Amino acid sequence: MVPLSILDLSPIAEGGTAAQALARSLDLARHAEKWGYRRFWVAEHHNMPGIASAATAVVIGHIAAGTSSIRVGSGGIMLPNHSTLSVAEQFGTLESLFPGRIDLGLGRAPGTDQVAARALRRGHADTSDSFPQDVMELQAFFRPFVQGQALRAVPGAGLSVPIWLLGSSLFSAQLAAALGLPFAFASHFAPDLLGEALDVYRGEFRPSASLKEPYAMAAVAVYAADTDAQASRLFTSLQQSFVNLRRGTPGQLPPPVDSMDGLWTDFEKAGVTQAFREAIVGSPGAVRRGIGEFVRRTRVDELMVTAAIFDHAARLRSFEIVAQAMDGA
């Protein structure tokens, strides 16, 4: 089977704090390292009461400092929110502190609402259209310093920080192929173009100095428990969160419920079902079969799993079952 990694948003459980969420993320990363996961990525989101990973580079440092071998990175840094120089310096610093363990995944979306996006950019125009140029500029900051060069990232210049492009559409797939970079698809919440994006990436890939052959990863939500019923109950926390987000009332991660009946409309249920149709929810056997089918169908080189689970012990158990399922497969 393919390598297994984790995407974590440091979810803040209802009634909890960001400090608790970050401590739990570190605890999960330590267990993931022991269970054989390859990477532990955190994602940049802003103005979200239930997500504690807004200062993504800081959280990466927190996770990397508390682990010893697992790769730690961003899934991703939303590049339109930042200057390329500051990102190069931050990840150059992380690579200097934790050599050979840092990944830099880049996204084109703001990762927030328009109010927060304007606050982050302090009145600057939307820079998503300059994303290709920004990615290449960021790559240049990591190249060895050339005498006479006016601007350099310190730390950063000459360091090997793998850059990944993330996306849920064809745009980043095409750009990753053109630049010869690894590509990660966000099928855990936007699965519509999964197959087409992977085909485009593989079909248009051009070898580069950093990557000779295409390398594709996909993220998928996996909720595992000892029984199918227990797993389905854990999954209701994410379903409730998504409904609240769509209603414009995002909040902390709610506790699971026995049934979603009465908590969503038929229209909202259809939207949740569509967004999470690639989710794998069930007992160890169901998870093993689901992951195997997903990998065979997509032919991904690596699988990144994610799960926002209210109870920390149940969350650890879910990721442990996934690791054991992969070993069994």
> Do residues 6 and 37 touch, judged by C-beta distance below 8 A?
yes
**Which tokens sit at 239?**
């379903």
How far apart are alpha carbons 45 and 125 in whole angstroms?
19
H/E run at residue 107: strand 102-107
Count of beta carbons in the 10 Å neighbourhood of residue 290: 19
Neighbour-count burial for 172-198, b at 16+ CB within 10 Å, e otherwise: bbbbbbebbbbbbbbbbbbbebbeebb
| Cβ proximity of 90 and 158 under 8 Å | no
Torsion of CA 155, 85, 210, 171, to 10 degrees: 160
pLDDT in tens, 93-136: 999 999 999 999 999 976 556 776 676 665 555 555 789 999 99
pTM of the prediction?
0.94
What is the pairing mode between strands 39-42 and 4-8? parallel
Per-residue model confidence as pLDDT tens digits over 169-191:
999 999 999 999 999 999 999 99
pLDDT in tens, 225-262: 999 999 999 999 999 999 999 999 999 999 999 999 99
